[in-house]
Amino acid sequence: MFTFLRNSILGVLSVGFRLVSSLLLNKVIASYFGPAGLAQLAHFQNLLSFFTLIPNDGINRGILPYLSQNESNSPASYRYLKSGFGLTCIVFGLSSIIILLGRNWFLTYLPFNLFWLTLFITGAFLVVAQSFFNAVLLARQRTGVVVVGNCLSALLVIVYVFVAYQKITLSSFLVGYLLTLSSIILFVLPFSWQGLSFSEFKQTRFSSLALKQLSRYIFMALSVLLFTKGLDYYIRDFMIRHFSIYQAGLWQGVVRLSDSYTALFTAVLSYAFYPKVSALCHDNAQLKVFVRNVLKLVIPVILVGLAGVYFARTFILTGLFSSNFLKAQDLLPFQLTGDLFKLCSWLLANILVAKARVWVIIFFEGISAVAYLGSFYFFTDHYGIAGSTMAHCANYFFFLILHVLYFRKLLFA
């Protein structure tokens, strides 16, 4: 548990810096562009996730256990390294083609010109590459370097926001933010290649076994992309079209508040929980003890944190965004309750990923997406914009039940 706590602290420190930069970005856009600007920021970041999610949640997670089990200079390590990076480039290329072919839907609220798109795709590729090399560092237990890199990235974003926010249009500001975020690859890359031979990397052939093993994680991440990020994009577009971009922006303020503390929890999963679960996934006895201890530690923290957010809601909404967003506080009760279910279910979902339960993950994501879409239509039809958070709550309660039933022996036996 000491290693879990240490890595949790490092993860929270890293995401803490990024959270400050994200909150500043939200504050500036909410203050100068209003709820409509915040909705456009969410659309921009959702678009970016179409490029990053499969490499981050698929290839990078898949490559971690294989790299950590082999010496960094071993032939096996080079095979997984080259196969993983090759898959990353292929997935990025396919994502770019899909976005360009579907530009009339994906780029509805963003500029469609060659210069802006070139900058956006360049920044997106650098972010994807940086995440891949972060995974290489995490496999070598060099968490400190990743934390420093994330902190530097956050500081650069803070400087950029202060310098640029009143001088350019929102679309230009957003692509500049992406390029600033991606520039930290210049720091990460040298550390990730320490002790490696580039000539050896070039001479290594792609491994069919490695490609097959990593492809399982790609399918899992693809299900998340289609059933969560794709669905989020559709729902936001639905909200803008059927209500207004202003009302969608109010709802998005609540969602971005949720994303802020969710990022801290995700840091714990990425830096402390998932690597440990990956190492224990073949030892059910130790895994059971570890998961139960983590749940006993984490659930009370989640409850206290969410209660604090609710009781300080007026101060938080005004401080993070602007007084215009006080109208969104009625959306918080169902959002926070849903987040309790979400965070608990995500912890269990990470065990499925570590065990590479591909079809279980796809089934859970798919059936949850259908339930979410159905409840979204029902609640928004009866309760208007407030129905969006009701649907969020109902969806993650259902998602949590699925995971608790699947892991009932791990949790209760």
Domain boundaries, the chain: 2-412
pLDDT more than 90, % of the chain = 23
At residue 4, does pLDDT exceed 60? no
Amino acid at 210: A
CA–CA distance, 135 with 131 (Å, rounded to integer): 6
CA–CA distance, 408 with 413 (Å, rounded to integer): 7
Longest dimension (CA), the chain: 63
pLDDT per residue as tens digits for the range 179-200: 998 998 999 888 888 877 777 7
Q: What is the mean pLDDT of residues 286-290?
A: 89
Q: Supply the DSSP symbol for 328.
A: G
Task: Provide CB contacts within 8 A for 230, sequence distance 6+.
Answer: 50
Contact between residue 27 and residue 320 where contact means Cβ atoms under 8 Å apart: yes
CA–CA distance, 340 with 336 (Å, rounded to integer): 6
End-to-end CA distance of the chain: 22
pLDDT per residue as tens digits for the range 333-352: 999 999 999 999 999 998 88
Q: What is the mean pLDDT of residues 371-385?
A: 93
Phi and psi angles of residue 236, each rounded to the nearest 5 degrees, phi first: -65, -40
pLDDT per residue as tens digits for the range 129-173: 998 888 888 877 777 788 888 888 888 888 888 887 777 788 888
Contact between residue 12 and residue 19 where contact means Cβ atoms under 8 Å apart: no
Task: Provide CB contacts within 8 A for 244, sequence distance 6+.
Answer: none
Q: What is the mean pLDDT of residues 113-134?
A: 90
Q: What is the mean pLDDT of residues 306-335?
A: 89
Task: Provide CB contacts within 8 A for 359, sequence distance 6+.
Answer: none
Q: 16: burial class by Cβ within 10 Å (0-12, 13-18, 19+)?
A: middle
Pick from 82-91, 259-268, 302-311: least confident? 259-268
Q: Smallest Cα–Cα separation from 338: which of 366, 293, 376?
A: 376
Q: Smallest Cα–Cα separation from 355: which of 288, 292, 270, 277?
A: 277
CA angle 71/72/75 to nearest 5° reads 80
Instruction: Look at 180 and 50; give whichever has higher pLDDT.
Output: 180
CA–CA distance, 246 with 252 (Å, rounded to integer): 10
Enter the tokens of residue 358.
């591909």
CA–CA distance, 342 with 348 (Å, rounded to integer): 10
Tally of residues, the chain? 413
User: DSSP characters for 123-173?
Assistant: HHHHHHHHHHHHHHHHHTT-HHHHHHHHHHHHHHHHHHHHHHTTTS-HHHH
pLDDT band for position 10 (50/70/90)? Answer: low
Q: State the average pLDDT for the chain.
A: 84
pLDDT band for position 387 (50/70/90)? Answer: very high
Enter the tokens of residue 321.
């965004």
Other beta carbons within 10 Å of 85: 19
Q: What is the mean pLDDT of residues 352-366?
A: 85
CA–CA distance, 191 with 209 (Å, rounded to integer): 27
Enter the tokens of residue 135.
């995974």
